[in-house]
């Protein structure tokens, strides 16, 4: 994405006034030929929301009308540009669109926020409100932290599975503010996702040691600890052996470790819970201790963490 944003490689063209009738200035269809004028140039004045969609995508059809209503309701404070990825495959590839619907928001020529999937209307309204507030702050000379913009769109890219794009965005966030813990954590998570534990460790070292317990960093610190403590193993073989002897807690713990080494945290969580259910005190509560680290690595608000905590409570207090 940064290659397009950083250069004028896309030819400018005439605006294609698509979208809702009578709202051509607010909602339009764009192509690779008009992307520079419809998105980059237009975003120098107001935030431009870009909806990447396709005719065969049912969630896109759910999201599109909701986006359009919200943009119209904003009364000109934002614009909406719709891009059909089937008709603009090169542009989708350059912007590294991995799944749809994907929504990016641009302001002053660069991405500042985004999300994926057909999110509820309430979240879209909050999304637009954030954009208008940021644009208002920029217009009044109030601080508008560029590094936070990189983090927001980096999170969206990482959630969509585009680790390389996310890493680049987080790195730009760190460059803009070397003390931005969220950007450091995001970049470290990208390195972990790519299996580079050493680079993840070096990235975390950019933050002071006394900041490693900060909520912005603690999750990735825990994830790195799990990755380093658990070596990759043959998960399939261990599962087959465990199927023959499900009460072998040492073997089940070994399987959980192999799953953690492979990054399968939720699967490992189930094995650890199964150990605790069979023997709470096994191996000096090794399973419970490791499970708590998994919770921290995933994040306390993660759906799997919430499910795991409920099941753990059910086991412990049954």
The catalytic site residues sit at 57, 60
Q: Give me Rg for the CA atoms of the chain.
A: 23
In the sheet that 79-84 helps form, which strands lie side by side, from edge to edge?
27-29, 79-84, 48-53, 102-107, 110-116
Describe the crossing of helices 197-204 and 215-229 by its angle, rounded to 10 degrees. 150
User: The tokens 């009044």 sit on which residue?
Assistant: 140
HEC readout, the chain? CHHHHCCCCCCCCCCECCCCCCCCCCEEECCCCCHHHHHHHHHHCCCEEEEEECCCCHHHHHHHHHHHHHHHHCCCCCEEEEEECCCCHHHHHHCCCCCCCEEEEEECCEEEEEEECCCCHHHHHHHHHHHHHHHHHHHCCCCCCHHHHHHHHHHHHHHCCCHHHHHHHHHHHHHHCCCCHHHHHHHHHHHHHCCCHHHHHHHHCCCCHHHCCCHHHHHHHHHHHHHHHCCCCCHHHHHHHHHHCCCCHHHHHHHHHHHHHCCCHHHHHHHHHHHHHHCCCHHHHHHHHHHHHHHHHHCCCCHHHHHHHHHHHHHHCC
Residues in the chain: 318
Distance CA 22, CA 290 (A): 58
């Amino acid at each position: 994405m940064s290659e397009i944003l950083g250069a004028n490689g896309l030819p400018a063209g005439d605006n294609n006034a698509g979208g809702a009738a009578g709202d051509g200035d607010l909602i339009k269809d764009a192509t690779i030929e008009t992307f520079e004028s419809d998105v980059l140039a237009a975003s120098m004045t107001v935030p431009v929301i870009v909806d990447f969609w396709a005719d065969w995508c049912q969630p896109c059809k759910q999201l599109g009308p909701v986006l359009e209503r919200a943009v119209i309701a904003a009364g000109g404070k934002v614009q909406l540009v719709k891009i059909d990825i089937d008709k603009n495959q090169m542009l989708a590839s350059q912007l590294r669109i991995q799944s749809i619907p994907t929504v990016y928001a641009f302001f002053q020529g660069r991405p500042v926020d985004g999300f994926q999937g057909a999110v509820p209307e309430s979240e879209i309204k909050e999304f637009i409100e954030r954009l208008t507030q940021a644009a208002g702050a920029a217009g009044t000379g109030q601080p508008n932290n560029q590094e936070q913009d990189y983090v927001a769109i980096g999170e969206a890219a990482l959630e969509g599975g585009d680790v390389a794009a996310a890493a680049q965005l987080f790195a730009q966030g760190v460059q803009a503010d070397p003390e931005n813990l969220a950007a450091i954590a995001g970049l470290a998570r990208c390195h972990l996702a790519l299996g580079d534990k050493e680079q993840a460790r070096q990235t975390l070292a950019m933050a002071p040691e006394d900041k490693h317990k900060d909520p912005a960093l603690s999750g990735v610190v825990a994830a790195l600890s799990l990755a380093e403590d658990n070596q990759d193993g043959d998960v399939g073989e261990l599962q087959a052996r465990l199927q023959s002897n499900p009460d072998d807690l040492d073997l089940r713990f070994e399987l959980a470790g192999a799953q953690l080494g492979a990054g399968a945290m939720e699967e490992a969580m189930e094995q650890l819970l199964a150990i605790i259910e069979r023997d709470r005190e096994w191996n000096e509560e090794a399973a419970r201790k490791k499970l708590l680290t998994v919770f921290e690595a995933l994040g306390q608000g993660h759906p799997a963490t919430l499910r795991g905590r409920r099941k753990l409570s059910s086991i412990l207090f049954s």
